[in-house]
A and B are shown apart, each in its own frame.
Chain A
Amino acid sequence: MDNGTPQSAKIGATFSKEAFFTLSKIPVKDIIAYILVVTGIIYVILRGASEQGYFWQWYRVPQFLFTMEDGTFTIGPLLEGLKITLNITWISMILTYAIGLITALLRLSDSIIGRVFARVYLEVARNTPLIVQLFFIYFVIAPILGIDRLFAAILALSLFEGAYASEIYRSGIVSLPKGQWEAAHSLGLTRFDTYRKIILPQAIRRVLPPLTSLTISLIKDSSLVSVIAVYEMTMQANAIVAETFLTFEIYFTIAAIYLFITVFLSQLVALLERKSKIYN
């Protein structure tokens, strides 16, 4: 019987060592791989820049973000642009979700006209380049509706991303078990109540991850509205680069800002997802 104790202790020890590498929250291998990849990329960029004889002038960047003079804080053109980018983004985001939901519901409805309309919109918005849509809405639609370029940009972005959103919603809705519909029907719930109380709350939880990806795309695609001269962050960056030739510094800076916003957003959604997982 004496034999038993050390043996089981040994098994326990090997298990916990295994557990440290496979189950622990710190993915050591991944971190090493990540550092190697990032170092490699930086090396290639620096090497490329030095081959071109690029003259790094990072010290000139902060003034485009903000300036401090006599204790007064003034925001620079990049952050000015960021404000517009954020404004475009959040309004387009809400419109995207709304357009997507309406389109998805139309496609799943009994109305033939609704289904055809949704389908045509979806295919046009999804299968033509965003930049063409931007020009079309700005030069053709905006004068008819009498809207300014900022709203034209928001409209174009929302219509483009809304098409993708509708497919995301639709996949979430049809992925629910048929029994949920049947249970709601058997209780005499109306179609509206069934969607509102049973189907959508479940479907939206399911599609949170792809919807987040879409929102991230939206944030990045908002840089395209610079083509219709909306002075959002990328447009400001273009202007600064044209004046100062700080090409890499400025573009890296705005890339970092985009990255910051999108990572912040995905963390927020991850938190939301963890909270809504309770019932599963």
Chain B
Amino acid sequence: MTEKKFGDYIINVDNICKTFPNGVKALCNFSTNIRRAEVVVVIGPSGSGKSTFLRCLNGLEEIDSGSIIFDGIPLDDDKNNRLKIRREMGMVFQSFNLFPHMTVLENVTLAQQLVRKSSASVAKSVSMELLEKVGIEDKVASYPAQLSGGQQQRVAIARALALKPKVMLFDEATSALDPEMIGEVLDVMKTLANEGMTMICVTHELGFAREVSDWVIFMDEGRIIEGGTAEHFFSDPKEERTKGFLNQIL
């Protein structure tokens, strides 16, 4: 493995807690720091709080206590701060969440024009470039419903990249896909990682984690059980629960 150069910390998560209204404790005294250009993979059994952690980072879920600071901006009650943070973080969802009433191209250009105030022509050329990158350039006039799951997810990645985010969040981006389509989405994610994008991925793809990640976090019951580099994590896990989990899925 080539040694990657990481920058300073871009995200500081300090002691956050999140309890859902139904009483389920999703996150409990959760802390972590993420450096620029780092690829962090979060794994763990379902219900362990992985997705909640990701959704707290861009304010889709409110945290009850603790603090999240993104690139010097605190994620607090200030609406402008929230918007600023969201605009610097791209998010890719398990269920794609493309806008079904818009074409592929419109999906990708929309936020550039509304948020970045790009002109239509600039937004279009940026979008075409991104769609080419994810291999959808021949489907730009299609509607999402006319695409396969893998294609939709690649469009969703292009849509998130269109704002030139500093961080990309992947929330089980391949979990809803047919097996033969997982590869094409993971390939796009690997390309991004190699280009130095800061990424936080919640995933069940351990192969991807092993190959691409700089840091692996194993979560259970809303806490970090163990974190480490991919090599250490997979070959020499410290905690019993981590070993148990890895044995179950490997």
Q: In the assembly, what is the distance between CA of A180 and CA of B144, in Å? A: 13
Contact A278 B143 (CB under 8 A): yes
Set A179, A180, A189, A278: member contacting B115, Cβ < 8 A: A189
Q: Does any Cβ of A come within 8 Å of B98's Cβ?
A: yes
How many inter-chain contacts with C-beta < 8 Å in the A-B complex? 69
Given A179-B95, A278-B143, A279-B145, is A185 in contact with B59 using a C-beta cutoff of 8 Å? yes
The reply to whether B93 and A182 form a contact with Cβ atoms under 8 Å apart is yes
In the complex, B36 has a CB within 8 A of chain A? no
User: Do A187 and B101 have beta carbons less than 8 Å apart?
Assistant: no
Mark the stretch among B65-73, B83-91, B208-216, B220-228 that contacts chain A. B83-91
**Given A183-B93, A278-B143, A279-B145: A189 in contact with B111 (beta carbons within 8 A):** yes
| Interface flags, A173-209, vs B, CB<8A=1, else 0 | 0000101101101111110010001100110010000
CB-CB contacts below 8 Å: B91-134 with A: 91, 93, 95-101, 110-111, 114-115
Instruction: Report the count of interface residues on B (CB-CB < 8 A).
Output: 30
Q: Which of A190, A193, A205, A279 has the most CB of B within 10 A?
A: A279
CA distance A177 to B93 in the complex (A): 13
Verify A202–B100 contact, CB threshold 8 A: yes
Q: Does A280 contact B (CB under 8 A)?
A: yes
> How many whole Å from A204's CB to the nearest CB in chain B?
10
In the bound complex, what is the Cα–Cα distance between A190 and B115 (angstroms)?
A: 8
A185–B159 contact, CB under 8 A?
no
List residues of chain A with CB under 8 Å of any chain B CB.
177, 179-180, 182-183, 185-190, 193, 197-198, 201-202, 205, 278-280
A-B contacts, 19 listed (Cβ < 8 Å): A179-B96, A179-B97, A182-B60, A183-B98, A183-B99, A186-B86, A186-B90, A187-B86, A187-B115, A187-B159, A188-B111, A188-B115, A190-B114, A201-B101, A202-B99, A202-B100, A205-B101, A279-B101, A279-B144
Q: A186-B60, A186-B169, A187-B159 given. 8 additional CB < 8 A pairs?
A: A179-B96, A182-B91, A183-B156, A186-B86, A186-B160, A188-B83, A188-B111, A190-B83
Residues of B within 8 A of A (CB): 58-60, 83-84, 86-87, 89-91, 93, 95-101, 110-111, 114-115, 143-145, 156, 159-160, 163, 169
